[in-house]
Amino acid sequence: MWHSDLHKRKPTGGKRKPYRGRRKFEKGGFPVETVPGPEERVVDRVRGGNIKVRLKKAETVQVSDPKTGKTVKATIIRVVRNPSNVEYSRRGVITKGTII
């Protein structure tokens, strides 16, 4: 996955010819798609030697009720529906807005 402006077009619609190749700092990471299960984390080294901790599997989530405004910690039984992506619903991937 690349995050650069080398592939963009000119305002006239013509293609820009890249003046250089891709650089390592333009490279992005692949998403870790969280699924229900015993908690498991993935540690990624990112730019500047920093680390990002991503959740691969999760047992509990913070669930909020929009009517009452209450938020509680709940255990995940299963993923009912994921409105962001039909494929995520089939595979049981948890994202923001997932109904569990």
CATH for the 32-91 domain, from 3.40.50.920, 1.10.150.120, 3.10.290.70, 3.40.50.300? 3.10.290.70
What CA–CA distance (Å, rounded) separates 70 from 98? 17
Residue with tokens 């209450």: 70
In tens digits, what is the pLDDT along the chain, a chain of 100 residues?
667 777 788 889 898 888 888 888 888 888 999 999 999 999 999 889 999 999 999 999 998 888 998 999 999 999 999 999 999 999 999 999 899 8
What CA–CA distance (Å, rounded) separates 7 from 18? 8
The pLDDT score that the predictor gives to residue 66 is: 87
What residue ranges do the domains of the chain occupy? 32-91
Q: Which of 52, 45, 55, 53 is nearest to 25 (CA)?
A: 45
What CA–CA distance (Å, rounded) separates 28 from 30? 7
48: its two tokens = 């500047």
- Alpha helices by DSSP H, listed for the chain, are 86-91
